[in-house]
Amino acid sequence: MRNLFYLLTAFLISGTLIAQTGDYPYTPVGFSDVQIEDNFWLPRLDTNRIITIPFAFQKSEETGRLKNFKVAGEVNAGEIETGNFCSKYGYDDSDVYKIIEGGAYSLTTHPDFMLESFLDNLIADIAGAQEPDGYLYTMRTINPEKSWAKERWINTRHNGSHEIYNVGHMYEAAVAWYDATGKRSFLDVAIKNADMLCNTFGPDKRYIASGHQEIEIGLAKLYRVTGEKKYPDLG
């Protein structure tokens, strides 16, 4: 009975804290506050930093995933009317965002000038690929007629175009980059896109259900950085 009392008390306190803060009642330990120095995990983290992350970016270059952002930027700048999507799938943008997130986490614990410089340039290409209202989906920007989304948001169910899925990963990467470097370059891209989504979807606006969970996680992480409650409300 006593254990039940303690459990109910903890539950009520947690509920009060959530209501007051809008977040979990416990603050997670900061990523950079954990130092791993053992003989099992540390070599694996070094392998990830030295080999895996550079190799992942190399493959993204070879498969055209990185070039897609450059081509979309050329379309947005009016340098070309349409271009050729350089990789294969509409969700290829998300692969780049995932690797950036991993690279940012690595920078948090192990500063690397070359990696940071590389990511600065890549993020500039991503910013250039973003359309003026915040929309970011390189396949459609490059050539709508050859895209999984000939019109925005019409192919979102059952995974579909991955327009919304992609940017969920982009938000996570942008927050990781901001946490690692303090730079707003990628965070501002994410906020512009999230604001566009908030203006597009919701009560008395457009309503769709994304075919693939991910946007919810990204919006929650964006909320933790910005304090904008409209982001988790949309998620």
Answer whether residue 142 is part of any domain: yes
**What pTM was estimated for this model as a whole?**
0.88
Residue 45 belongs to what domain range?
Answer: 38-234
User: What one-character DSSP code corresponds to residue 211?
Assistant: S
Answer whether residue 23 is part of any domain: no
Report helix, strand and coil shares of the chain as percent, to nearest 5. Answer: 65, 0, 35
According to the model, what pLDDT value does residue 22 have?
67
pLDDT digits (tens, 9 = 90+) for 114-153: 999 999 999 999 999 999 999 999 999 999 999 999 999 9
- Could you give the CA distance from residue 77 to residue 125 in angstroms, rounded to a whole number? 12
Cβ neighbours around 155 below 10 Å, total: 19
According to the model, what pLDDT value does residue 118 have?
98
The total number of structural domains that make up the chain: 1
According to the model, what pLDDT value does residue 21 have?
56
Q: What are phi and psi of 201, to 5 degrees?
A: -115, 155
Answer whether residue 94 is part of any domain: yes
Answer whether residue 5 is part of any domain: no
According to the model, what pLDDT value does residue 73 have?
98
Answer whether residue 140 is part of any domain: yes
According to the model, what pLDDT value does residue 15 have?
42
**Helix 163-181 × helix 113-129 angle, to 10°:** 140
Answer whether residue 203 is part of any domain: yes
According to the model, what pLDDT value does residue 203 have?
87
C-alpha closest to that of 184 among 111, 115, 124, 114? 124
According to the model, what pLDDT value does residue 29 have?
83
Q: Which residues of the chain have pLDDT under 70?
A: 1-22, 158
C-alpha closest to that of 108 among 20, 35, 191? 35
